[in-house]
Structure 1
Amino acid sequence: MSTNTNIIKSFFNRPLATPTDLPPQSAKSIGLMMNAILADVFALYLKTKNFHWHVSGPHFRDYHLLFDQQASELLAMTDEIAERIRKIGQPTLRSIEHIANLQRILNNNAVYVEPSDMLAELREDNQTLTFNLREAHNVTSQFRDIATSSFIENWVDQAERRAWFLFEAARMPDSSNH
């Protein structure tokens, strides 16, 4: 093998070494925790798209559009999370299997789900994501990772908003007001 080939081969086989001022163990802890968040977001994204594709009933259009908007928001988060993990020198998720091993948001493989159950399940999942994000914020704050903490604060707000919209969409009219 030529010297140039060895140099090129060693360059592409070296560990990811993005420079960061975070201590290595702090960056590793944050990277592991944020990969779990990333897995949760991918799981919630896919469930939200699943419900978007399979919703039916008298509120079809409203729920279909709501789920699509929320799925788009979740998908946008994935790149921000993955890039943040890479900025601190850590590797990100590499496969569906990796997501499945880390996710804490449960899948829903049911053939049919009542629209009201879709709303309730996605609301609960967004609340679970909010809880997990707050736990992640505790860690990033402890390690003084201000940038990741700042992202997390925005993601908490987004998850709370999604949960609120899902809650309001599921509310039944109050007959006492009529």
Structure 2
Amino acid sequence: MTLNTGLSDEDRKVVAEGLSRVLADTYTLYLKTQNYHWNVTGPRFKGLHELFEEQYVELREAADEIAERIRALGHFAPGSYAQFAELKSVEEAPATPPSAEEMLGQLAADNETLSRVARSVVTSAENVEDEVTIDMMVARMSVHEKAAWMLRAHLQ
């Protein structure tokens, strides 16, 4: 059956490719945030443990929504570590957990990176009048900018 939502095959491909980058970064940040949730130490353990949990739960839900949008555009969502490694711009967590301060700084920077990547997809989606993707990416930008603010607030 032919997909006919008002977007051309090429337009859907361009948007799906951008969303695939957002998905790879989202999943990478999800794993990193969950890792830091498990491995944070120090006098602020409880508060940071809970903050990181809130954030990784939100990221897990977001990854599913982004993947489903890629599928709605008629493309397959990347779903392997190898695919994510090729597409991601967010760095994975180091093998040895960093200090709580370093965790906060890394996660704040990673959320800002994801906001920028989502913003680039907004531009692509605007070019083809894909309002559904525009709305989704604007919402993601809002989430990531708030998360970065919350994380940075713990550094001051």
Determine helix, strand or coil for the equivalent of 1:170: coil
1:144 corresponds to which of 105, 111, 129: 129
Q: Which residue of 2 aligns with 1:113?
A: 98
Counterpart AA for 1:125:
D
Q: Which residue of 1 aligns with 2:120?
A: 135
Report which stretch shifted further, 115-124 or 94-103: 94-103
Aligned CA distance change for structure 1 residues 101 and 119 (closer, same or farther; 3 Å): same
1:64 corresponds to which of 24, 28, 49: 49
Q: Deviations over 1:131-175 (max 9, x none)?
A: 11111101001110000000111111000110010011111xxxx
Counterpart AA for 1:160:
E
1:97 corresponds to which of 75, 82, 106: 82
Corresponding position: 1:83 with 2:62: no
Q: Which residue of 1 aligns with 2:21?
A: 36
Q: How many pairs does the alignment contain?
A: 156
2: CA distance, partners of 1:111 / 1:56: 13
1:48 corresponds to which of 33, 47, 57: 33
Report which stretch shifted further, 16-25 or 52-61: 16-25
Gaps of 5+ in 2: none
Gaps of 5+ in 1: 1-15, 172-178
CA RMSD after TM alignment = 1.3
Q: Which residue of 1 aligns with 2:108?
A: 123
2: CA distance, partners of 1:18 / 1:69: 37
Task: State the percentage of identical aligned residues.
Answer: 33
Counterpart AA for 1:80:
E
Q: Which residue of 2 aligns with 1:174?
A: none
Answer yes or no: is the 8 Å Cα contact 2:36–2:97 preserved in 1. Answer: no
2: CA distance, partners of 1:163 / 1:81: 20
Counterpart AA for 1:25:
E
Counterpart AA for 1:161:
K
CA radius of gyration, larger in: 1
Q: Which residue of 2 aligns with 1:8?
A: none
Answer yes or no: is the 8 Å Cα contact 1:20–1:89 preserved in 2. Answer: no
